């Protein structure tokens, strides 16, 4: 009988421990745009951010930038140029004008694990003799974008980091 009592005691102690846990639930959480809540937190789709997914991520990228390019393929190369970012047609799309000091590009903003739209991707694009793609991040403290590009220009390949400083 003592073993049965011990098992019951352990089972009850376990149930009390579980019920005493501070579980996050979604009963009082409202997620905009039909997003889902999991353990008290909204999970935002690409293009939205924040605790309730109501902020459009792309808006923080919009503006004028001074861009510094640093290339380390072969001989070091450093180049600066102005660029302009505007909203695109989709909620997470951006248009970058004067990229590389010569062309325009489409980029996409993605939501990261912390529910912030701080990931940017420039998919493979070709314009004239230039083929490029890149991935990077947005620094919300300094309003700075850093994108690592791989590109080919006039049959030469480059791997460069472009740092966009908001003006």
Torsion of CA 117, 119, 124, 126, to 10 degrees: 70
Higher per-residue pLDDT: 29 or 146:
146
pLDDT above 50 for 110: yes
Domains for the chain: give ranges and CATH numbers: 2-55 (no CATH), 57-166 (2.40.128)
Which run of H or E residues covers position 78? strand 77-87
pLDDT of residue 20: 42
- At CA 167, angle to CA 136 and CA 65, rounded to 5? 40
pLDDT of residue 50: 83
Q: Tell me the C-alpha distance between 162 and 67, whole Å.
A: 6
pTM to 2 decimals? 0.77
């Amino acid at each position: 009988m003592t073993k049965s009592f011990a098992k019951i005691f352990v089972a009850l102690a376990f149930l009390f421990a579980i019920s005493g846990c501070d579980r996050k639930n979604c009963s009082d959480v409202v997620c905009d745009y039909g997003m889902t809540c999991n353990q008290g937190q909204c999970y935002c789709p690409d293009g939205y951010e924040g605790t309730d997914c109501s902020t459009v991520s792309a808006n923080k990228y919009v503006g004028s930038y001074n861009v510094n390019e640093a290339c380390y393929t072969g001989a070091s190369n450093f180049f600066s140029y102005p660029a302009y970012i505007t909203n695109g047609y989709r909620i997470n799309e951006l248009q970058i004008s004067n990229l590389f000091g010569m062309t325009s590009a489409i980029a996409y903003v993605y939501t990261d694990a912390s529910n912030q739209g701080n990931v940017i991707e420039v998919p493979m694009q070709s314009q004239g003799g230039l083929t490029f793609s890149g991935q990077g991040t947005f620094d919300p403290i300094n309003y700075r974008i850093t994108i690592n590009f791989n590109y080919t220009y006039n049959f030469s390949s480059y791997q460069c980091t472009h740092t966009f400083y908001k003006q």
